[in-house]
Amino acid sequence: MQLMHTLYTMEKYDEKAISVLARAIADTLNNTRYDYEGFIQKDNGDGTCRVIVNQKPYDIKNGTALTFTPGNKCLVYCISGDFNRKVILAKL
Find out whether 88 and 74 touch, Cβ atoms under 8 Å: yes
Rounded to two decimals, the pTM is 0.68
What was the pLDDT predicted at 8? 52
State the chain's mean pLDDT as an integer: 86
Reply yes or no on domain 35-91 having CATH 2.40.50.100: no
pLDDT band of 7, cuts 50, 70, 90:
very low
> What residue spans define the domains of the chain?
1-31, 35-91
> Which runs of E-coded beta strand occur in 1-92?
35-43, 48-53, 56-62, 73-78, 86-91
What was the pLDDT predicted at 10? 53
